[in-house]
Structure 1
Amino acid sequence: MKDLLLLRTSGAALAVAIALVAPPVLAQAADTPETNAPGEIIVTATKRSESLQSVPISVSAIGGDDLSKSRTTSVDDLTSKVANLQMTGIVGDNTPIFSLRGVSMSDYSLNQSSPVATYYDEVYKGNFAFLGVAMYDLERVEVLRGPQGTLYGKNTTGGAVNIISRDAALGETGGYINAGYGNYNRVDVNGAINLALGDKAALRVAGTYSHADGWFRNVLPGMPDLAETREFAFRATLH
Structure 2
Amino acid sequence: MSFRSDQSSVVVPFANRRPAPVTPEPIPMRPVLIVLHQETSTPGRIGNALRALGYPLDIRRPRFGDALPETLDEHAGAVIFGGPMSANDPDDYVRREIDWIAVPLREQRPFLGICLGAQMLARQLGAVVAPHPQGRVEVGYYPISPTDAGRALCPNWPARVYHWHGEGFQLPDGAELLAAGDDFPTQAFQFDNAFGLQFHPDVTYAMMHRWTTRGCVRMDSPGAQPRDLHFAQRAVYDAAERAWLKHFIDGWIARVPRTVMLQAAE
TM band (smaller chain): under 0.3
Larger RCO (CA within 8 A; separation ≥ 6): 2
Q: Which has the higher helix share?
A: 2
Q: Which has the higher strand share?
A: 1
Which has the greater radius of gyration? 1
